[in-house]
Amino acid sequence: MQLRNNLLTVEVSADGAELQSIKSNVTGHEYLWQGDHAFWNRRSPVLFPIVGKAWDGIVNYGGKKVEIGQHGFARDCRFDPVDNNDESTLSFRLRHNEDTLQLFPFRFELEISYTLIDERITILWKVTNLDTGHEMPFQIGAHPAFYYPSGQFKANDLNGYLAFDRNIDLTYELIEAKGCLGDRKYPLDLDADGMLPITPDLFDRDALVIGDKQLHRVSILSAQKQPYMTVLFTAPVVGLWSKPGAPFICIEPWYGRCDRVGYNGDFADREYTNRIAPGQSWENSYCIILENI
């Protein structure tokens, strides 16, 4: 399904309600990674009802232990398109079923909407607890991958820069074991302009996980520090990641995060887990803004 204005054409699939393409109508440039099994075959999966990996792949729901894969199941589900009578918006809906209840024992509805206005794409998540008697814990996150400004990976040179809404005392954490987070925090090594150089070895140790509501804006700039694109969000955690040698970088706003190494507590007590009262809904969004279209 497609959204189009004079600047951009945006495509979204009902499979996973996943963003498939963000293309300039002026230059023909594709901003969104198009997937490649040699590196990573996804483009912008939605992470629900967990973000990241659970320790030993097991989630504990009030004493019921369930094996669940990294980032949950929504990215592999077929969503139903929703007719919202708005030519600038595409909406999709997923509801619990027999399969999801085996992995996540809660009755839910997840609605995802994409709205295109000028050079801005707003992605809205609405999660509803359909149960009338139980609180529902959940996590949700984004995982969009964007081509580097040059469109290619430069093995011996800069691939651009990352700029933030804050550039003082920023710290990140790393995946240490079994896809889970260690306890150590590392300072982000910014240049004199307060930017993070995207060097060829930046993601050699996997994702940079920046939590504690440190950031609400991440921008990609070219190697000449020309603006390329920005992701705006209110999420408390953002992951930065690329596969070494691949020509893309992911900017991932998360309302959730992988377990810490050794965590075996209840899912509801997992760090950055959200809770919805019976019959209530939770909404949040993030924005992708394209530059020099």
Tell me the pLDDT band of 293, cut-offs 50, 70 and 90.
Answer: confident
What is the number of structural domains in the chain? 1
Q: Give the pLDDT confidence score for residue 154 in this predicted structure.
A: 86
Tell me the pLDDT band of 148, cut-offs 50, 70 and 90.
Answer: very high
Answer whether 107's CB lies under 8 Å from 96's CB.
Answer: yes
Q: Give the pLDDT confidence score for residue 216 in this predicted structure.
A: 98
pLDDT digits (tens, 9 = 90+) for 176-194: 999 999 999 999 999 999 9
Q: Give the pLDDT confidence score for residue 150 in this predicted structure.
A: 87
Q: Give the pLDDT confidence score for residue 285 in this predicted structure.
A: 98
* Cβ count near 265 (within 10 Å): 12
pLDDT digits (tens, 9 = 90+) for 210-249: 999 999 999 999 999 999 999 999 999 999 999 989 999 9
In the predicted structure, residue 86 carries a pLDDT above the cut 90? no
CATH code assigned at 248: 2.70.98.10
Which residue range(s) make up the domain with 207?
A: 2-290
Distance between CA atoms of residues 93 and 81, nearest Å = 6
For the entire predicted model, the pTM comes to: 0.96
Nearest Cα neighbor of 92 from 116, 70, 109 is: 109
